[in-house]
Amino acid sequence: MTSNSLYGPLEDVSGDAGYVAGHPERVGFFTDTSVCIGCKACEVACKEWNGLPDPDADLLKLTGMSYDNTAELGSNAWRHVAFIEQAVPQVSVLSRDGAGQLIISASAGDTDDSGQATRWLMASDVCKHCTHAGCLDVCPTGALVRTEFGTVIVQPDVCNGCAYCVSACPFGVIDRREDDGRAWKCTMCYDRLRGGLEPACAKACPTDSIQFGRLDELRVTAQARLAELHEAGITQARLYGADPEDGIGGAGAFFLLLDEPQVYGLPPDPVVTTRDLPAMWRWAGLAAGALAAGVAVAFAGRRA
């Protein structure tokens, strides 16, 4: 177990998956949406490094969702930068001074005739690499595996396209490609991790909105950043997916949000979709046993 002073022991998911002692520390993403500028460099880097297919031509047009022409995560979009436009009475302005230090101040912003200001929320979404991953539980072929880094990946050469993982993901991350039917999602650049490199999206992010590293260290960093924002009066800031006591056991890719999770299209209280499977199997076993006993009694009665 790796100690984490904020949340207690960090679950050794790689060890639980069968990796021997001495495997790498669990790594992950901390995405600080407060400094995301919506440049989509992470999307481009992800596509280029992983050789993802080009988007459908129709998606290059405006989708009706502001400037977000990716729309959502999918088999060909493993990173998705959301653009969320809000009308608010007052917006928080984040900038950097000449020394590169972050400055947080309040501003009325550009207001309309009603006195409302426009605020943009931008966030780069990705697979959460859950501690308790329903996709792993339901995969019948072993295509989905836990790596030595604690991440969750799909082995495309083993996937049979059953789509059980698609329905098991509480975030709607996993998707199948129409051309081959197989499931695809973020691998956290597993090939780069094995070579000692950080994932392409984090490498390309110009504002450090996407931070990559040891998960326990990222959680400490995130708590410090949250305290900084709260001290600056941005009390609506919150962490999402950082708590190992939540319904997925904590995420390997977690976020600092400036509003409710629903605003970003995230479920407010995600739970691993297979949490009730053990109880269901127990009840199924009892039911099967009762049925077998009933049949035996019926046949015994007929013989008598």
Same-domain check for residues 150 and 112: yes
Does residue 54 fall inside a structural domain?
A: yes
Same-domain check for residues 184 and 287: no
Same-domain check for residues 172 and 282: no
Same-domain check for residues 198 and 150: yes
Domain range spanning residue 288? Answer: 277-304
Number of Cβ within 10 Å of residue 19's Cβ equals: 17
Does residue 98 fall inside a structural domain?
A: yes
Distance CA 196, CA 193 (A): 5
Same-domain check for residues 255 and 239: yes
Does residue 6 fall inside a structural domain?
A: no
Same-domain check for residues 69 and 160: yes
Residue 83: give its domain's CATH number: 3.30.70.20
Does residue 7 fall inside a structural domain?
A: no
Please count the structural domains in the chain: 2
CA quadruple 207, 209, 215, 219: dihedral sign: positive
Tens of pLDDT along the chain (304 residues)? 333 333 334 567 765 555 666 678 899 999 999 999 999 999 999 999 999 987 665 555 555 555 677 788 999 999 999 988 887 776 555 555 554 555 545 444 455 566 677 788 999 999 999 999 999 999 999 999 999 999 999 999 999 999 999 999 999 999 999 889 999 999 999 999 999 999 999 999 999 999 999 999 999 999 999 999 999 999 999 999 999 999 999 999 999 999 999 999 999 999 998 865 555 445 455 555 667 666 666 666 666 5
| β-pairing verdict for 80-88 and 117-125 | antiparallel
Same-domain check for residues 213 and 72: yes
CA dihedral 127, 128, 134, 138 (to 10 degrees): 30
Does residue 51 fall inside a structural domain?
A: yes
Same-domain check for residues 33 and 125: yes
Whole-model pTM above 0.75? Answer: yes
